[in-house]
Every structure is written in structure tokens, then in C-alpha cells.
Amino acid sequence: MRVLITGCAGFIGSHLAERLVGDGWHVTGIDALTSYYDPAEKRANLAVLGNEPRFDFVRADIVSAPLTKLLADRPLVVHFAAQPGVRRSFGDGFDQYVHDNILATQRLLEAAAEADCPRVVYASSSSVYGEAATFPCREESTPTRPRSPYGVTKRTCEKLAEIYRGLGLSTVGLRFFTVYGPRQRPDMAIRRLCETAAGGPAFRLNGDGSQSRDFTYVDDAVDATVRALTAAQPARVLNIGGGEEASMNELIELLGSLTGEPIVLRRGGSQIGDVQRTGADTTLARQQLGWEPSVRLADGLRATLDWVFEHRAAGVRVVAAAS
Ligand SMILES: NC(=O)c1ccc[n+]([C@@H]2O[C@H](COP(=O)([O-])OP(=O)(O)OC[C@H]3O[C@@H](n4cnc5c(N)ncnc54)[C@H](O)[C@@H]3O)[C@@H](O)[C@H]2O)c1
């Protein structure tokens, strides 16, 4: 089986590439190695794939990449490339979100439709729901009211996918809920907490810590993606959430109990665009993909913490993680 993965050097994309190569797939990965965080981390994410004969890497921006050539043999497609993160999407930073999220997605969907690719699975986000009034969020009945420009770009990608779906392209959007695990992006809370626990700077807690998230371990997110590539006729969008909701205060306590030391905190105001709560109803993904999350928060956190300790031992430091 052949698959093209965009954003393959990123956090979730690199795990997916490893899983598929391990399962015997031929993987072509595209990534522009953008500077949202240190590109050296992204190169390191690809290190174990470097000598794999079934893996090819193309460094390119999706907007200008030779997509017709790359899609000529009609691979399955996973589109993960994006400018992620809520906070930086405010202000002038939005230009980059328009480029990496909206323009890149339109180019990719257009090329995949022209090449007659059998399926495009793309990353959407829980951020399309914004501040939901009822929980858990359901794909078809919870209104989409993004609270950040980032969320708007993700919702726009869903709308673009609907257009190409109407033209015959099989698309599936996965609305990921806070994915975490080894190699998590350095701007994300669990990564920053683990860096603090491993001797890094104090953890900046935004707001009062009561805000909660439905956390999803990266292997579960990857498993849902692999299933979405080959499932018969999945719905246009599916929630992918780990099912274990925790507040920031609970997370801080849990991590402290794993390390045996309290986490050193620095308090800051609440952040623009942040929502108070996220929570996924995953009935559709369970029914249509036969998927269910399998990694408990405490186990996933332990694995992430172990990776951060190893990473720091190897001399890698987070220089300027956004908070
Ligand atoms: N991590 C999460 O919790 C989460 C939650 C919801 C949705 N998502 C979505 O999942 C996807 C992967 O997220 P991640 O956390 O792995 O992010 P990441 O930043 O680690 O990976 C994204 C990759 O895309 C690449 N990229 C960006 N713009 C590009 C372009 N124009 N051309 C080619 N490559 C480009 C970047 O260099 C990066 O390596 C993204 O679409 C993100 O919006 C992630």
C-alpha cells in the first residue's frame, strides 16, 4: 500500500509514518520543516525513518510542491501539514495560518481530486467547536463556533473538503482532541509540564487551572488515522478523543505524583482563544472505524515524561517554548 503523508516531520505525522512503515506500507512524506518550533526537532523526529527503504522524504511547501507528480500513482493521502496552535493565530501571525492551513489544503485537495486518489484523511481539530454549550461534543449536532483564527482555518479546511467530497473525492476529517505523547510539540501544555518536571523552567499556568481537556495519546490518534484510510465509507468528520478529561490542576497533580515532586509553577493570565473545556463523543469513530482509545492518561503521561527525560539527557533543550 502507498501513502503520502503531509506534515510527516511533525509530532503526529512522524508517529504515523513510523507506524505505517512498520506495517509494511510505502510512505512518501512531505514537510516544509517550518519554524513554528525548532526544525532540528522535526529532523530528529524523522531520524529512525532515515534508513528505511520504504520511506522517502520530500522537503517542500504543499502550496508550491509538485503535487501532480507526487500523486501520479494515486496513493492514499494523509494531510497533517498545518500551522498549529491557537495563540499565535491572532495578529499578524494569521498570514501563516492562511498559507499553511487554508491555501495548502485547497491545493492538496484539488491535486488529489485530479489524480483520483482513493482517499484523503486530514487533521481537523476540537477547536472547531469553540466554547461548546453542552458536552460531549457530537459531530452532527454540536454547533461549530471556533474561538480563534486557528479554529476558523480548521473549520474552513472542513468546508473545503466538503466541496471536493461533493466532486467525488473521498475525504475524512479527524477532529483531534489535544494529542500528547513522546515528541509532542514544545508549545503544548503536557510537553511544557514534563520539561519542568525534568529540570526545565517553571511551568506557566494560564488562568486558574480549572480549564479541562479531553486528552488523546498519540498512538490512539495514529490508530484512528490508519483505520480512517481504509474504512469502507466513514462520515465526513469524526471526533477522535481519548475519553479521559482532566483539568490543568488535575494534570499537574498527576504528574507530580508520577515524579514524586511538586511541579514548579508560575502563574499567568488566561490566554486569548483558549476554551474552558473540551470533550468528545466518539460514538461515530467507534462505529465506523472500529476504533477506541486504549492508552490511559497516567500511562501516556509516564511515556511522555520518560521521553522528555531521555531527550534532555541527550542534550536537547526547549529554548523558547511558547506558553
Ligand atoms: N497536536 C494536537 O493536539 C492537535 C490537535 C488537533 C489538531 N491537530 C492537527 O494535527 C496536525 C498535526 O499536528 P502536530 O501537533 O503534529 O503539529 P506539528 O507542527 O508537529 O506538525 C505539522 C507539520 O506540518 C509542517 N508544515 C506546516 N506547513 C506546511 C506547509 N505549507 N507545507 C509542508 N509542510 C508544512 C510543519 O513543518 C510540521 O512539521 C495539524 O494539522 C494540527 O492542526 C493537532
Domain count, the chain: 1
pLDDT at 209: 97
* Residue 204 included in any domain: no
Helix ranges (H only) for the chain are: 11-22, 39-45, 67-70, 94-97, 104-115, 149-166, 189-197, 218-230, 248-259, 283-289, 297-313
Which of 14-31 are b and which e, b meaning 16 or more Cβ less than 10 Å from the residue's Cβ? bbbbbbbbeeebbbbbbb
Report CA(41)–ligand 1 centroid distance (Å).
Answer: 13
Q: Choose which residue among 179, 187, 188 to substitute to test ligand 1 binding: the one with the highest number of ligand atoms within 8 A of its C-beta.
A: 179
Residue 16 and residue 226 in contact, taking contact as beta carbons nearer than 8 Å: yes
Residue of 182, 211, 156, 188 whose CA lies nearest to 85: 188
* Residue 210 included in any domain: no
Residue 303 and residue 238 in contact, taking contact as beta carbons nearer than 8 Å: no
* Residue 310 included in any domain: no
| Minimum CA distance residue for ligand 1 atom 21 | 10
pLDDT digits (tens, 9 = 90+) for 225-262: 999 999 999 999 999 999 999 999 999 999 999 999 99
Report CA(252)–ligand 1 centroid distance (Å).
Answer: 25
218-230 and 11-22 helices cross at what angle (nearest 10)? 60
* Residue 48 included in any domain: yes
CATH code (residue 81): 3.40.50.720
Q: Ligand 1: which atom is nearest the Cα of residue 36?
A: 19
* Residue 166 included in any domain: yes
pLDDT digits (tens, 9 = 90+) for 199-235: 999 999 999 999 999 999 999 999 999 999 999 999 9
Which residues, judged by CB distance below 6 Å to any ligand atom, belong to the binding site of ligand 1? 6-7, 9-13, 30-34, 36, 42, 61-63, 80-84, 100, 104, 123, 125, 176, 178-179, 185
**Contacting residues for 275 by C-beta, under 8 A, at least 6 apart:** 127, 129, 130, 131, 132, 147, 211
pLDDT digits (tens, 9 = 90+) for 86-135: 999 999 999 999 999 999 999 999 999 999 999 999 999 999 999 999 99
Using only C-alpha atoms, the chain has a radius of gyration, in whole angstroms, of 19
pLDDT digits (tens, 9 = 90+) for 274-314: 999 999 999 999 999 999 999 999 999 999 999 999 998 88
pLDDT at 316: 67
pLDDT digits (tens, 9 = 90+) for 146-190: 999 999 999 999 999 999 999 999 999 999 999 999 999 999 999
Please say if 150 is a catalytic residue: yes
Beta bridge partners, 247, equal 212
pTM: 0.97
CA atoms within 13 A on the CB side of 102: 15
* Residue 146 included in any domain: yes
pLDDT at 320: 41
* Residue 46 included in any domain: yes
Q: Choose which residue among 30, 34, 46 to substitute to test ligand 1 binding: the one with the highest number of ligand atoms within 8 A of its C-beta.
A: 34
Q: Choose which residue among 31, 70, 77, 99 to substitute to test ligand 1 binding: the one with the highest number of ligand atoms within 8 A of its C-beta.
A: 31
pLDDT digits (tens, 9 = 90+) for 3-28: 999 999 999 999 999 999 999 999 99
pLDDT at 321: 40
pLDDT at 314: 83
Q: 52, exposed or middle or buried, with CB in 10 Å at 0-12, 13-18, 19+?
A: middle
- Could you list the residue range(s) of the whole structural domain that residue 172 is in? 2-179+217-242+273-294
pLDDT at 318: 57
* Residue 168 included in any domain: yes
Q: What percent of the chain has pLDDT over 90?
A: 95
Q: Ligand 1: which atom is nearest the Cα of residue 126?
A: 6
